[in-house]
Amino acid sequence: MARELGLHANIFVPLNASEIKIRRLRAVGARIVQGGADVSEAYVAAHQEAQENGRHYISPFDHPDVVAGQGSLALEIAEQDDRRFDHILLPFGGGGLLTGFGCAAAKLWPETRLHGAHPAIFGRNLHNGFDGQQMLKSVMPTLADGLAIEHEPYNWLWPLIQALAPIFHAVPEDRIKTSMMTLLHQESILSEGAGAIALAPLLFDESPNLKGDILVLVSGGNISVPLLAKAMTAVIEEPRLRKINGLRASTLGIELSASASAPGKTSQAAEKTSAYSPSPISEATLLSMWLQLVDRVEQGLDKLQATLQQHLSFTLRESLPVDPIVESFMGDALDSTRKMISSCRSPGLDGRQVAQRYRLLIQSFGLARSALNWCSASTDQSKEIMFFDPADLQTSSVNYERYGSVALRELELNLVHAIGFGGGAHTALLTSSGQAAYSTLESYLLREVFPKQPDVARVARVPYLYFEALEQLEALPQVSMTIAEDWSVEALIECVEHTDSHVVFADPMANIGELPCFDFQALANALRTRDWRNRWLVIDGTMISGGFNPFTLFDAPHHPQILYFESGSKYLQLGLDLQMLGVVVCSEQHAPSLARHRRNLGTGLNQNQVARFPLFGREQLLQRMQRLTRLTRNAEYIAASLDAIEHPCSKLRVAYPRDWRQRQWNHGGGVVAITFSEPGLNNRHCLEGLIELIINSCRTAGVSITKGVSFGFGVTRISAAAAIAESTDPFLRFSMGEETSEQLEQLVACVTQSIYTFLETFG
């Protein structure tokens, strides 16, 4: 305004004024004078200069023209919206905004109640109404620094404020932070604390009378990056507000060198991590595994070519007309697949390059394998071909695709051995996703197990189940569910036997920040003297796919009956992430009923999905998880590296099942989870910032990493996990990949340095 009028403006601000406010004022031509520890001292300095130099002093809060200008805002709102507001919430510092806007609002909306939100840290007791003496109290440092104003005795605003009779709300600093983040997350409004504070009474339900049409005034966007960082670390406890702010969704050691360490941390961190070092691994081991998988595709391709020849021979013998384009198309598809096989075997490729080509190969093979299939092939015909494999013509039963197929059964037989459940009377049933696998089991329980109970179906479970399955389970009206107090075997047994639960849900490892594990070996031992034969134990093994065999653990006559399932989209696709997939494993005696439920629900795996599933055996799965490319070894290494990080701002809580050998698992999985001891740093906004630091560091160093949900990939993936579930908080999750020792050290160096930078910035 001064510039427009051809005048000079001297703006007095305290020494702690935000950098962005000063920068913006200078940008419009103002002279900035910094002085005093707070607004009050800057006010005194401004008065003094005005008196000494014969200048005019204009108060930012109690100059009559400024106050009148505040009231003009109410007139603008009335022009844009004809509602009569029941409540108006606005920031309260020196009272200029409340007075000016309040007086205008009293004329426009006489019945409206006025509310002023002020920083609780000032210690002003306005709960019972306005008291001018409270405005004489010294202000304290606050996020709402724009409200840090003290009055001179008997300020002319006092009687006006008393006449308006506003209701005051003292807002603590953490609630100011929450208000700032809520505006940013919900409305994309980046407001300083002094502007966002008026939202706090609504967010925290301070007044039961705050109902109806409510007007909230948000003013001021002068916020610096450090203050924004403070707001982003707000500790928000209430689940409703965590959900609103995107912290829950609505329904998701290296041996440090000087260059990779924070100042002063090198020797200590290196000393801690030197006790753990990865065993040497070369590209040759990774390359060997993927070439074995290529060999298996070639074997499958030879079999497919033989079936095609049988098809053509049969149609010729039966005088069935074959369109020439069919043979040409299939010939091209087979040739294209063989070219991809040759490409995978090209000299000079490393393991990751072969893996990427294998992903194309399996899809090319899948096309060739499924191109001539029918969802319900004919069993006889005249002059028309509606089958591929002549063996289909021998089928006497209903052959709808959702009833299953020969190819599906072959895959299921192979997979039950690959997971490690072979050698006994166990059956694998594949479904279209992990959730479809759960839904199939739930349907079985609802119709085959629960009805046998004389009253309500009683279910006991460990403290956490995967949220999508839990949502379905909790919605069943006929189920009474009890939760064990903790993850111990004793707690679960007490929970089950105290309630006489018929069905027990327990997972070997939960997908939450602490990665809590349940000891099935200890449970089996504890049940030696108990009779659980009429109970069912339902296990989701996704997090440690193929890691242990519950059917051999619980094989005594008095043991519970086992229903096992997992998502086949993770480890079981060898990191290729080709499609959704689920697996149910059960005893052979229960398989027909479960297959019927899968059929009736339509949750089975279709032929196109069967055709694209990677072909591997037990040896390849364990090689990838532990011995060769060792997702487990890589996970152990990064966990040890992260354990070594020390910073005064916050400790790292690193979760990984380091005792997997003692639990007699075949591997520990590839997931490592991190949470910070400073709760605010676990907010999704902060974790996303850390991920950005890590990815940028890796990008600069030429190190591979990806960001995204899920786990089990060939390259390490990072995410702010658990953001989809309403019941759990985010955490930083690493899904370790197939990196060699050298690649792993480079990756962990980038991660470690980024965490130090993050803690220096946000801590």
Q: Which residues pair with 564 in a beta bridge?
A: 539, 585
pLDDT in tens, 573-617: 888 888 999 999 999 999 999 999 999 999 998 888 888 888 887
- How many Å separate Cα 259 from the centre of its chain? 31
pLDDT at 501 over 70: yes
Residues in CB range of 278: below 8 A, 6 or more apart: 633, 634, 637, 741, 744
**Is residue 462 a contact partner of residue 511, using CB atoms and an 8 Å limit?**
no
> pLDDT confidence of 277, banded at 50, 70, 90?
low
Tokens of residue 411, six digits = 């895959």
pLDDT at 763 over 50: yes
Q: Which of 104-113, 179-188, 444-453, 619-628 has the lowest mean pLDDT?
A: 619-628
Radius of gyration over alpha carbons of the chain, in Å?
34
Within 109-157, residue ranges assigned H as helices are none
pLDDT in tens, 701-715: 999 999 998 888 989
- The overall average pLDDT reported for the chain is 87
pLDDT at 258 over 50: no
> pLDDT confidence of 402, banded at 50, 70, 90?
low
pLDDT in tens, 356-399: 999 999 999 999 999 998 888 888 889 999 888 887 776 656 66
Sheet (strand 426-431) strand order: 426-431, 582-587, 561-567, 536-540, 503-505, 457-461, 479-483
pLDDT at 168 over 90: yes
> pLDDT confidence of 521, banded at 50, 70, 90?
very high
> pLDDT confidence of 239, banded at 50, 70, 90?
confident
Residues in CB range of 532: below 8 A, 6 or more apart: 496, 558, 559, 560
> Which helix (H) or strand (E) is 585 found in, with range?
strand 582-587
3-state secondary structure of 754: helix
Cα dihedral 441, 442, 447, 449 sign: positive
pLDDT at 686 over 90: no
The alpha carbon torsion through 349, 352, 356, 359 (nearest 10 deg) reads 110
Per-residue pLDDT averaged across 510-515, rounded? 93
Q: Calculate what percentage of the chain has a pLDDT beyond 90.
A: 58
Distance CA(369)–CA(301), nearest Å, equals 8
Q: Which of 234-248, 472-486, 533-547 has the lowest mean pLDDT?
A: 234-248
The tokens 């009569």 sit on which residue?
Answer: 84
Angle at 426 between CA 424 and CA 427, to 5 degrees: 145
pLDDT at 627 over 60: no
Q: Which of 1-5, 193-197, 254-258 has the lowest mean pLDDT?
A: 254-258
Residue 419 has what pLDDT?
85
**Is residue 352 a contact partner of residue 624, using CB atoms and an 8 Å limit?**
no
CB burial of residue 686 (10 Å; 0-12, 13-18, 19+): buried
User: Per mean pLDDT, which of 26-30, 71-75, 493-497, 711-715 is the most reliable?
Assistant: 493-497
pLDDT at 135 over 50: yes
- Least Cα distance to 630 among 665, 590, 670 occurs for 670
